[in-house]
Amino acid sequence: MPKIKTHKGAQSRFHITGSGKIMRTKGGKSHLRRRKAPRTKRLFDEMIPLSSVDRKRIRRLLPYGV
């Protein structure tokens, strides 16, 4: 059986934790950042768990849990 290629765009956007959760970053963190409040900018830094609706689709893009 051939190897499955990892989707490189998904690899840079999502991280899989040791327990198997898929974490994602929030969007909108690079554009117009100067006018945002410091608290808002800090909230962009943390990663949040992926929605259960998208989990199956992203798992297919990351077959080896990169």
DSSP code of residue 5 = P
What pLDDT is recorded for position 34? 87
Contacts of 66 by beta carbon, 8 Å cutoff, 6+ apart: 6, 11, 16
What pLDDT is recorded for position 31? 83
What pLDDT is recorded for position 30? 81
Does the pLDDT value for residue 66 go beyond 80? no
Which CATH fold would you assign to the domain 8-59?
A: Factor Xa Inhibitor (4.10.410)
- Helix (H) or strand (E) holding 22, with range, is strand 22-24
Q: Are the beta carbons of 66 and 16 closer than 8 angstroms?
A: yes
* pTM value surpassing 0.85: no
Model pLDDT for residues 11-48, shown as the tens digit of each residue: 999 999 999 999 999 888 888 888 889 998 899 889 99
By CB atoms closer than 10 A (0-12, 13-18, 19+), residue 6 is middle
